[in-house]
Each structure stands twice: as C-alpha cells, then as structure tokens.
Amino acid sequence: MARMRAVDAAVLVLEKEGISCAFGVPGAAINPLYSALKARGTVRHVLARHVEAASHMAEGYTRAKAGNIGLCIGTSGPAGTDMITGLYSASADSIPILCITGQAPRARLNKEDFQAVDIAAIAAPVTKWAVTVMEPYLVPMTLQKAFHLMRSGRPGPVLVDLPVDVQLAEIEFDIDAYEPLAVHKPAMTRAQAEKALSMLNEAERPLIVAGGGVINADASDLLIEFAEITGVPVVPTLMGWGAIPDDHRLMAGMCGLQTSHRYGNATMLASDFVLGVGNRWANRHTGSVDKYTAGRKFIHIDIEPTQIGRVFAPDLGVTSDAGAALKMLLDVATEWKTAGKLRDWSGWAKECQGRKKTMKRKTHFEQVPLKPQRVYEEMNKAFGRDTTYVTTIGLSQIAGAQFLHVYKPRNWINCGQAGPLGWTLPAALGVRAADPDRDIVALSGDYDFQFMIEELAVGAQHKLPYIHVVVNNAYLGLIRQAQRGFAMDFEVSLSFENINRSGDLEAGYGVDHVAVAEAMGCKAVRVRKPEEFAAAFKQARQLMKEHQVPVVLEFILERVTNISMGVEIDNVVEFEELAESNEDAPTAIMLLD
C-alpha cells in the first residue's frame, strides 16, 4: 500500500484500464487531476478549444478502434454542461466514453458556489452512470465501476464528477492489487440459434439487417462468414455500414428514408423475412412500422433486452452480444449446411444483385457551380478502399451515404441518432489521435463545418492531419429542403456579401473557409470546376503529408440541390435524373423546386 492523493490513484487506474490519450480543457476545479497527469506523463493530452469538442474527440477515438475508450476532461460548471451533447451522442450510439469533471468543494455544494452545478443529475439521462464522488477512497473504485459499466452489456458513456477537495485528499492505495472487472455480455444459446435458423429456413426471400452492434462487437468477419454460409443478402444500417464490403456479392444496399440506396429499399420491400442483428430499427431506416413490417417476419438480436420490442414486437427476440450471436449462428449453420439442412437462396441473392446493378442514381454532372453528386463521384475515384469517412448530419452526410463506398468496419464513422452539427471536425481529430496511419476524410456541409471550426487549431497544434471535404452551398441544406413542406425558405441561408472574401470565392457565399482554415494554421484548397478535381485531391494529399495539419478541400456547389428522400421506404422522391443504366426507371423526374 502507498499513500497518495486520490487523483494520483485515479491516473494509475486509468493506465491499468488502458487509457493512453485524453481530450480536454483544464481549469481550477480539475487542476489537481491535471497535476497528476503531468507527474505521471503516461497519458497524452490533446487540448481542445471547446469542451463539447473534447467530448466528440473522445467519441471519435472510441469509434476508431475496437476496445478503445475515449477520455474527455473538463473543469466544473459549464465544462460539464458543454459535454452533455457528446454524452448524448455517445449514449444514443452505444459508444463508451469517460467524462471526468471537476467540482466545487463538498462543503460548497448546493450553496450556489461559483461554477458549482449538479452535473451528475444533468448527465444522468444520457449516460449509463453519472456520479459525484463524495469520499476520496472511492475515486479509484468509482473508476473501476465506470469502466466495467462502459464495457458490459450495451456499451455507453459514464460521467465521474470529482470535488476539488476529494481530488486532493490523500488515501492508501495499491495499484498492484488492482484489476479491471470482468466484462459481462449476454450470449445466444444453441437452442436459440437453432430456433432462429429454423425460422430462416421457412423464408423464401430473407435478409440480414446488420446494425452498429456488429461493428461494436468487432464481429464483421463473423457476419460475412454467416452470410456466405447461408447465402442470405445483407442490408447494413447506417451505423453498420462497412460490416460487409460495398462490393460484396451479398451486400444488398442500405434501406431507409434518406441514407439509403434505391436497390436497398426495393430489396427490403421484396423480402419476406428479416434477421436483425445489433440494430435498433431506427425510424429513418424503417419509415412507418406498418409499411416496414408488412408481409415479413422478424427476428431481433440485441445486447440490450429492453431494445427488443421497443419499436415493434419481433416474431423472435434474443438478447445477445452481436458477436456471440453470429458465432453461434455460424456454428449451427455450418453444421446444417454440411448436413444439407439449409435452404438454397441463390436465386433470391441473384435477384438482389440484379437490382444493385440497375437501380442507380446519376452522379455525373458537368454543371458549374458544382452539383454535389459529382463531388461524391470524384471522391470515390480519389480515395481508396481503406479510406475512413467521418461525418455527422445534413445533406452532405445523406448524399455521402447514397453515393460513397465503404469496404471495412469502422471506415464509416458517423453519429447516428443524435446528429449534432459541429461533430465532424473534432471527431475526425479523435480518430486521427487513435490511429496515426489511416487515411481519414471528413465530410461536412458549410454549416456543420462552421459550428466548431475553431478546432482546426487543435489539429494544427497537435499535428493531427486529415482531409476535410466541405461542400459549400451557403445553406442549411437539409432544413431548407424540409421547409419545402411549409412552402418557405426562411432563415436557412448563410449567404452574404463578404467584403473580405478571396478572389476565387463566389459572390454571396459568405464565410471564406479557406482564409479561416489558413488563419487556424491549416491548409486549404478551393474547387469550383469539374476539371479541377484531380489536381485538387492530389494537392490536398501533398499538403497534408508535407505539413502534418488538417487540409480543407472546399467545393463550391450550386445553391439548391434536393437530395433523394421520402416519408416511406416505398415513396422516396428522386429529385434528380437517374443513371442511364437503370432500365426500370423513367429518364428523369421533375424537380419540385
């Protein structure tokens, strides 16, 4: 046993639990913890410009690699409230991050002291656990429980709030006697797997819907093996995109109202059976439940028992970690395949492949200002199979999901349920901090980019290089498109005459992102014409490699482009021309604007 401050014990626990990087902003009430971090020198610290951004950096860090847990740190009061959006985003997508906040001394709680707020109560609805530690010896034990909770069952975030006098108090602690708690994850039984496969065998046109739980469980290889043994096509959700390569013969496309493929929706509507693994039947995947479920049976496998039946009651529900379930299903399916007990779905799979080849949206446009579809077409040419895309919400993300290609798990890093604007930039920095080698391309509309544009300075200061594609139409594009239902275009334009704009920025496009990026210590390239694409992508790579800073690649778009979406999976409006190879589609669909 050794005598030490509670915060010194805390840092030893963080090390033992595998923490090697933190994102945060120091302040008076958390300075004791920072002094312990400095004394040990074992945890890299990335100084954010905004505490919300630190929480999103922690999210990106966790999402980048299996087993990662991002850590964000802030002082008392507004630092904790700033983290709430990151906690919400992490909670919604089952992402474990640890937020540690400073707090006023225990004697000053509930006395309206400076920057004293009950952050544990505020954070409780968006965490697995939120606690203010009132006894010094409980600091290491609280962290032990926090890591256990974050990793067990449905993963999620935890907030630990430390009063400054608790941090400074001395305790007896022996790190050599400390061990992380065993993680608990429910697992499918053989009997459950046999029941599921029996139901599958009764189907003529089955699908596997693979959700983010497959990615979280690091079970993509098992998913692919199971799909190949059975021959059943796979529809990944947006959070599960990359669990099966886009060009795999059994990848049937994404389904949904926005981030979907035409062939994915058509295949879902043609199916009669769905095996959902690690998914939550999100409304932008399903549309109305009646339309989505009509004429088909469902099995739902999820790690969280109360997730099963939350949206609709499946024909069979199984509580299991996605990886454990897929392993058991694969074992039984392999035995049944050898014994000739599995049905042959090769004809159905070929039918799905046919839709995938013919039901495409057009991307090749020559207009200036640029149409966004062309930008994604060129991104597919410029970026390789190993590229990791990071994005949040908006027409940029929706079009990205419709037109980009993803081939590996964790190569589409997207906050799914919460979708906070500004998330992309700090999350990309977190991904880079987690992996110094991978190709990272962030994708933002101009408004998402402006929300936390100050974090570019973090990338420059800490040498966190990546390419940030900004598609600029000087609009809140998704909200503008939604306002069509109200016959208005109100307070969604970002256009103004910038008296300081550089010469190659179109008049009326407002913020000069190139100038801002360069002022932050980064590099930037603006693209206005189709013939500039190839040189711009090449230049961005060279600048990133040479200077080791984020490089902004801005594309000047036409002001108004409506992206395909609808209110039901059988009623997605195709605003633009469809690809010529699409034999069953009309040559054009009238623009509604």
Of 98, 238, 476, 494, the catalytic one is: 476
Of 25, 232, 478, 549, the catalytic one is: 25
Asked if 396 contacts 443 with a C-beta cutoff of 8 angstroms, the reply is yes
Closest CA to 466 of 515, 510, 407, 425: 425
Asked if 322 contacts 216 with a C-beta cutoff of 8 angstroms, the reply is yes
Collapsed DSSP state (helix, strand, coil) of residue 360:
coil
DSSP string, 484-526: GGGT---S-B-----TT--TTSPTT--S-HHHHHHHTT-EEEE
Q: Within the chain, what is the greatest distance between any pair of CA atoms?
A: 77
Of 119, 215, 332, 421, the catalytic one is: 421
For the chain, helix (H) and strand (E) counts, in that order, are 23, 21
Distance CA 167, CA 32 (A): 6
Of 109, 479, 516, 589, the catalytic one is: 479
Closest CA to 74 of 157, 162, 198: 162
DSSP string, 67-133: T--EEEEE-STHHHHHHHHHHHHHHHTT--EEEEEEE--GGGTTTT-TT---HHHHHGGGSSEEEE-
Of 51, 229, 471, 563, the catalytic one is: 51
Asked if 97 contacts 59 with a C-beta cutoff of 8 angstroms, the reply is yes
SS3 content of the chain, % helix, strand, coil (to 5): 40, 15, 40
Annotated catalytic, 181?
no
Distance CA 217, CA 152 (A): 11
Annotated catalytic, 443?
no
Annotated catalytic, 25?
yes
- Two structure tokens written together for 113: 């002291």
- Strands 565-566 and 572-573 come out as antiparallel
Asked if 117 contacts 159 with a C-beta cutoff of 8 angstroms, the reply is no
Q: Which residues are catalytic?
A: 25, 51, 421, 476, 479
